[in-house]
Amino acid sequence: MSFFPHSVNVLVIGGGPAGLATAIAARRHGLSVVVADGAIPPIDKACGEGLMPDGVVALHQLGISISTRDAYPFRGIRFLSDGKQAEARFARGAAYGIRRTHLHRLLIDHAAASGVYLLWRTPVAGLHADGPSIGGEMADGALFNGALVGGKLIRARWIVGADGSRSRVRRWAKLDRSTRQADENRNLRYGFRRHYRVAPWTDFVELHWGRRSQIYVTPVSDDEVGVALISSDPKLRLQAALDETIGEFPELRARLANAEISSSERGATTVTRRLRCVYRDRVVLVGDASGGVDAITGEGLCLAFQQAVLLGDCMASGDLARYEKGHRALLRRPTLMAGMMLFLAKHSQARRRTMQVFRSSPHCFAQMLAAHLGQGSAREHISNGISLGWKLLHV
Ligand SMILES: Cc1cc2nc3c(=O)[nH]c(=O)nc-3n(C[C@H](O)[C@H](O)[C@H](O)COP(=O)(O)OP(=O)(O)OC[C@H]3O[C@@H](n4cnc5c(N)ncnc54)[C@H](O)[C@@H]3O)c2cc1C
């Protein structure tokens, strides 16, 4: 392990997108920061790899620009279902398909240049309190003031849990009481992704709707696309979903028939999760560790970056209550959208009607996409919602 201070303002546990973005945000406020991660960079992960315009804006706020050297621009979303398609362009802003490994490298370079101490291959085994602590978990009344990082104690004013969806920091700090645990278990879904060596056939991200699953296709470079499957069935793999016998995605199967597979399959779980609290004393959660929305929204990275910007500010001013409030507000819109999209995933009749409306009124789809990205006014969203509801009733 290289040199690192044993006492800092901020200790970030987890060096994925959320952890690195938080570290960068904290450094922009002049705080000293250590990031520790158990893995070796660049870290890959099952992901649709679509960075929506609101995520690009959040990255800009951290001083990071995406260029076409690292990523492939796309200009909207296309839905494909039952042999029909509908598409909507982004009203404004740039969006990119970017390999997770490239995004990770970009964030690492930026963090290192801004003076973050980065510790890789360094898992964090538990939090530390000067008072009594029980099995790494927070004894009632105890105040954590550090963590065991690669077997050594680092003391910190703030301890940030950025350790992903199955966060141990969340458990150690007893923040894992999500509002509806039974719903969470029922809503758990499984994602698998791999890449194909083929020139993108479109500059839209495609969402292919099937009976049991959805497949995202994201162009990530001039000669590669990422393909990510999401379903409620832990046994359903990409190969099987694309297989002729299931026969759900004939257009996609034809597109990929002769393309070389350019990465191994990776899996991960996804769930819409809301926590009652995202901080306790000095321990605070960010990114997937702090709850999130189903991967079908393509908003996980954006949320992580937006939360990071806010958290950096709140740690600097010592006001985590403000972070909690802002965090709740940031999750509201994506949670609503996740609910709507999962409804469409489950109800084929509603999906068919929605496709019909989107095909006959592309403007309606564009307005929904704008609402999804937080673009436009509340009044426009309400009026579009009413208009969409009316059209759905009358198709
Ligand atoms: C199938 C799928 C498709 C998706 N598609 C999209 C998409 O297209 N667009 C989008 O924006 N989002 C998408 N997402 C969501 C996105 O991938 C996540 O929201 C994002 O990865 C969250 O980043 P994170 O840093 O919070 O967590 P992670 O990326 O999981 O990083 C957590 C890090 O913590 C480290 N860690 C864990 N425990 C410890 C420990 N004890 N000590 C030290 N380090 C530790 C891990 O090694 C890891 O590096 C998708 C997700 C899935 C599953």
Residues 316-330: what's their mean pLDDT? 98
pLDDT for position 382: 79
Q: Clarify whether residues 280 and 241 are in a common domain.
A: no
Same domain, 199 and 307: no
Is there a domain that residue 252 lies in?
yes
Q: What is the mean pLDDT of residues 70-92?
A: 95
Is 332 part of any domain? Answer: yes
Report the range of poorest mean pLDDT among 142-151, 209-218, 300-309, 348-357: 142-151
Q: Which of 270, 293, 326 is a domain's end point?
A: 270
Residue 31 sits in the same domain as residue 174 = yes
What are the helix (H) ranges across the chain? 17-28, 53-61, 100-113, 168-172, 181-187, 238-242, 250-256, 300-317, 320-346, 348-360, 362-372, 378-394
Structure confidence at residue 186 as a pLDDT band (50, 70, 90): confident
**Cα 160 to Cα 322: distance, rounded to the nearest angstrom:** 16
Please report, in angstroms and rounded to a whole number, the separation of the first and last CA atoms in the chain: 63
How far, in Å, CA of 361 to CA of 346, rounded? Answer: 23
More confident residue, 114 or 380: 114
Tell me: do 260 and 378 sit in the same domain. no
- For the domain that residue 225 is a member of, what is the CATH number? 3.30.9.100
The CA 160 to ligand 1 mean position distance, Å, reads 15
Residues 179 and 195 in one domain: no
The best mutation among 34, 45, 121, 306 to test binding of ligand 1, ranked by most ligand atoms within 8 Å of the C-beta, falls on 45
CA nearest ligand 1 atom 44, residue: 37
Pick the closest to residue 197 from 226, 166, 154 (CA basis).
226
Q: Is the pLDDT of residue 138 over 90?
A: no
Length of the chain equals 395
Look at the block and give the residue holding tokens 């406020």: 29
Quick one: 315 and 209 in the same domain?
A: no
324: domain range?
A: 7-44+100-183+272-338
| pLDDT tens digits for range 276-312 | 999 999 999 999 999 999 999 999 999 999 999 999 9
131 pLDDT tier (thresholds 50, 70, 90): low
- Which of 241, 270, 299 is where one domain is finished? 270
Residues 24 and 107 in one domain: yes
Residue with CA nearest ligand 1 atom 49: 16
Report CA 214 to chain centroid distance, whole Å. 17
Does one domain contain both 303 and 260? Answer: no
Q: Is 205 in the pocket of ligand 1 (CB under 6 A)?
A: no
CA of 228 to the centre of ligand 1 (A): 15
* Residue 79, domain member (yes or no): no
pLDDT of residue 118 exceeding 80, the answer is: yes
**CATH label of the domain that carries residue 122:** 3.50.50.60
Position 268 scores a pLDDT of 97
Amino acid letter, 143: L
Q: Which of 23-37, 100-114, 244-258 has the lowest mean pLDDT?
A: 244-258
* 3-class secondary-structure state, position 51: strand
Look-up of token digits 């006014």: 377
Domain C-terminal end among 293, 309, 338: 338
pLDDT more than 90, % of the chain: 80
Q: Does residue 58 sit within a domain?
A: no
pLDDT tens track for 357-389:
999 999 999 999 998 898 888 777 777 777 777
Q: Which pTM was predicted? A: 0.95
Q: Is the CB of 314 under 6 A from ligand 1?
A: no
Of 164-173, 175-184, 262-271, 316-325, the poorest mean pLDDT is in 175-184
Check pocket membership of 312 for ligand 1, CB cut-off 6 A. Answer: no
**Once rounded to an integer, what is the mean pLDDT over residues 127-150?**
71
Query: In degrees, to the nearest 5, what angle opens at C-alpha 62 toward C-alphas 59 and 65?
Result: 50
CA-closest residue to ligand 1 atom 19:
300
**59 pLDDT band (50/70/90 cuts)?**
very high
205, two tokens? 């991200």
Which two three-digit tokens encode residue 155?
């003391």
User: Is the pLDDT score of 184 beyond 80?
Assistant: no
**Ligand 1 and 168: CB distance under 6 A:** yes
- Using 50, 70 and 90 to split pLDDT, how confident is the model at 346? very high
249 in any annotated domain: yes
Question: Above 80 in pLDDT, residue 121?
Answer: yes
In a domain? residue 211: yes
Does residue 150 sit within a domain? yes
Co-location of 37 and 133 in the same domain:
yes
Is the same domain home to 193 and 287?
no
- Asked whether residue 69 is assigned to any structural domain, the reply reads no
Mean predicted lDDT score pLDDT of the chain:
92
122 and 153 housed in the same domain: yes
| CA 270 to centroid of ligand 1, rounded, Å | 10
Q: How far apart are CA 45 and CA 59, in angstroms?
A: 19
Q: For the chain, how many structural domains are there in total?
A: 3
Residues 134 and 28 in one domain: yes
351 Cβ closer than 6 Å to some ligand 1 atom: no
